[in-house]
Amino acid sequence: MTIHDWSTGPYPARVRIAVAEKKLRSRINFVSVDLTKGEHKKPAFLAKNYSGTLPVLELDDGTFIAECTAITEYLDGLDGSPTLTGGTPRETGLIHMMSKRAELELLDAISVYFHHATPGLGPHVEIYQNAEWGFRQRDKALRGMAYFNGVLKKQPFIAGEFFSMADITVIGGLIFAGLVKLEVPAEYEALHAWYARMNERPSVKNRVTMSEPA
C-alpha cells in the first residue's frame, strides 16, 4: 500500500497515527506530495483524488481511498479487530459522532482560518481568500476547544474510555493549531492535560519520521 501525503501536515498526521497504532508501518510506502508547491492541486494528483486534498491511500490493485475517516476505517479493519473505530455499534456510533464534531468544530475550522486569514500556502495556492470568514472560523475553533475541554473533564478520551479515531481527529486539530500559532487557552486544563498524554504515545510522537524506512 502507498500513502500520498506531506509529513508535517495535520490531516496526514491523522492517518500516520492510525498506521502506527495498527502496526502497519512495514506495509506502507510513503510518497511525498509537496503542499508548498501546490502539487496537490495539479492534474497528476487530482487524477488520484478529485478533491485535491491529502492524504490518499493507494491500494495495490490501484484503488484510491481519500478522506482520513475512510482511510482509518479501512486500515482499522484489515486485521478483523478494529480498535480505533469501535468494536460494537454503540462504540462506533460514539466514535464517529465525536470525530465528526472534531472535524467541524476544530480541525476544519482551523483549516479555513489558515487558508483565508493567514498567508496560507502562498499566492499560487490561495487564489481566493476571505479574511472575515477566516477569523470567524478561528473563533469557532476556540469554541471547539472549549467544548472538548468540557468533554475531557468527564472522561479520559474523546469518545469515552479508550483511545480512538476521535482522539486522533482532535490531535490533528491541535497539531494544526500549533502550526498556525493558535494557542489553546490556558484555562482549558483538561484539554491541555489530555494533549500532553497523547503526545507521549509513540504513534503521535514519531509520526513525522514515519516516512523513513521502517
Q: Which CATH architecture has domain 2-83+203-211?
A: 3-Layer(aba) Sandwich (3.40)
CA distance 101 to 132: 23
List, for residues 31-63, the tens digit of each pLDDT value.
Answer: 999 988 889 989 999 999 999 999 999 999 999
Sign of the Cα torsion 39, 45, 46, 49 reads: negative
Beta bridge partners of 101: none
Give which of 94, 185, 180 is closest to 144, Cα–Cα.
185
Q: Classify domain 89-201 at the CATH topology level.
A: Glutathione S-transferase Yfyf (Class Pi); Chain A, domain 2 (1.20.1050)
CA angle 201, 190, 141 (to 5 degrees): 90
Count of beta carbons in the 10 Å neighbourhood of residue 183: 11
**Dihedral (Cα; 39, 120, 182, 205), 10-degree rounding:** 20
Give which of 168, 119, 202 is closest to 13, Cα–Cα.
168
Give the domain ranges of the chain: 2-83+203-211, 89-201
Would you give the DSSP letter of residue 47? T
List, for residues 125-183, the tens digit of each pLDDT value.
Answer: 888 999 999 999 999 999 999 999 999 999 999 999 999 999 999 999 999 999 999 99
